[in-house]
Structure 1
Amino acid sequence: MKYCFRIGLYKQGLLHDLSKYSPTEFLVGCRYYQGTRSPNNAEREDIGVSTSWLHHKGRNKHHFEHWVDYSIDGEHVIMGAQMPRKYVAEMVVDRISASRNYLGDAYDDSQPLDYFLKSKEKLWFIHPQTKKELEALLRILNDHGEEKLLHYIKYRYLKGETRKIKY
């Protein structure tokens, strides 16, 4: 919520991840809570699927998995649809928050990008433009820090500007 407010996404900040309070997600979170990683991974390891994650990503548009659909292009079976910028921005600040929560004092501004780069090549189902924007924003965080990233998102990215910002 704090980060969404800082970039001007007030409604998204208030509504962010409310599905986590549904029984489908909350009870899994309680059962598999570890404090250092997502309980969804522990559920996935235990039963082979994360019912909590399937519920969550279907209701929260800031996850690129929400935007996977059947293709009608004749080339792909499924594909990623391009995400609106407001949801890409929310995804970026969500990644920062998750990294801060899971890493605690060990967090630094390089970790959200490092986490993304570990799986980048496997993310064939994310729209190419969404992947490009996500990586570019995480690189701003990595190279210039949180304050400059948030400023860029609020005053350039969410206003549709695509030229590079110079710091």
Structure 2
Amino acid sequence: MSFHPIRHFITITRHRHEVVRLCFKAGIGFQGFFHDLSKYSPTEFLPGARYYSGKESPNNGERRDTGMSLAWMHHKGRNRHHFEFWYDYEMATKKIVPMDMPDRYIKEMFCDRVAASKTYNKESYTQESPLLYLTKSTAKEKMTENTYKKLLFLLQMLAEKGEKETLRFIRRCKDLPLAEIDGKQLP
């Protein structure tokens, strides 16, 4: 295992700059300025440099090595654009369950997922990459139905209509629509 602080810094900064660019085009530019700043903290940066591969999140390397990712736990607890931030106790059952994400953070999550797909897929990135990543994951089981449907709607729109049109839609949209899981006609 190597230590790659410069490569890691370049990767997270490239990703962050792409998220900021997308956030501005989506009408949430101010929010974009604060995106992922915790990645530069020692708690996240040092494991990121230690487990850097350039092909996947360093958090996966930390998980393989230690059984968990302290960097990820730190990150998700400070960044509201991650659905994992939005968990709380349900009073009736005392179980920890997902909560609906506010639309402003779903918009940032969209920008984050597009930027991450571009960062890790590089030249093999397509407009469908973020949608495929979502639908192949177990995220649906871990988000509220409303949060999942809203993110799905945006990623389907990206796949079908492209980045420019989807960002224009997000910028103009106060309340995000819900996708029909079996396919909804996009606006």
Give the TM-score, by structure 2 length.
0.82
What per-residue deviation string (whole Å, max 9, x for no partner) do you get for residues 35-65 of structure 1? 1110001100110000000000000000000
Q: Is the CA contact 1:69–1:81 (under 8 Å) kept in the aligned structure 2?
A: yes
Pairing 1:68–2:83 present: no
Among 151, 162, 165, which residue is 2:177 paired with? 162
Alignment coverage as a number of residue pairs: 162
Q: Is the CA contact 1:69–1:80 (under 8 Å) kept in the aligned structure 2?
A: yes
Tell me: CA distance 1:111–1:102, structure 2 relative to 1, closer, same or farther (3 Å): same
Once the 2 structures are TM-superposed, how far is the Cα of residue 133 of structure 1 from its aligned partner?
A: 0.4
Q: Matched residues in 1 for 2:105 and 2:92: separation?
A: 24
Question: Where does residue 130 of structure 2 map in the other structure?
Answer: 112
What per-residue deviation string (whole Å, max 9, x for no partner) do you get for residues 64-84 of structure 1? 00001111233x712111100
- Give 5+ residue unaligned stretches, structure 2: 1-19, 179-184
Question: Where does residue 167 of structure 2 map in the other structure?
Answer: 150
Question: Where does residue 145 of structure 2 map in the other structure?
Answer: 128
Once the 2 structures are TM-superposed, how far is the Cα of residue 161 of structure 1 from its aligned partner?
A: 5.8
Q: Is the CA contact 1:71–1:79 (under 8 Å) kept in the aligned structure 2?
A: yes
Q: Is the CA contact 1:61–1:87 (under 8 Å) kept in the aligned structure 2?
A: yes
The letter of the residue matching 2:108 is E
Tell me: CA distance 1:161–1:60, structure 2 relative to 1, closer, same or farther (3 Å): closer
- Give 5+ residue unaligned stretches, structure 1: none
Once the 2 structures are TM-superposed, how far is the Cα of residue 89 of structure 1 from its aligned partner?
A: 0.4
Q: Matched residues in 2 for 1:8 and 1:54: separation?
A: 29
Once the 2 structures are TM-superposed, how far is the Cα of residue 162 of structure 1 from its aligned partner?
A: 3.5
Mapping 1:39-54, distance limit 5 Å: 39-54=58-73
Question: Where does residue 47 of structure 2 map in the other structure?
Answer: 28
Tell me: CA distance 1:62–1:5, structure 2 relative to 1, closer, same or farther (3 Å): same
Give the TM-score, by structure 1 length.
0.91
Pairing 1:138–2:142 present: no
Question: Where does residue 104 of structure 2 map in the other structure?
Answer: 86
Once the 2 structures are TM-superposed, how far is the Cα of residue 125 of structure 1 from its aligned partner?
A: 2.8
Q: Matched residues in 1 for 2:140 and 2:64: separation?
A: 20
Task: State the SS of the aligned residue for 1:136.
Answer: helix
Q: Is the CA contact 2:47–2:58 (under 8 Å) kept in the aligned structure 1?
A: yes
Q: Matched residues in 1 for 2:132 and 2:69: separation?
A: 24
Q: Is the CA contact 1:7–1:151 (under 8 Å) kept in the aligned structure 2?
A: yes
Tell me: CA distance 1:161–1:34, structure 2 relative to 1, closer, same or farther (3 Å): closer
What per-residue deviation string (whole Å, max 9, x for no partner) do you get for residues 115-137 of structure 1? 000124x6423111001101111
Question: Where does residue 118 of structure 2 map in the other structure?
Answer: 100
State the 4+ residue runs in structure 1 displaced beyond 4 angstroms: none
Give the alignment's Cα RMSD to 1 decimal: 1.6
Identity rate, percent: 45
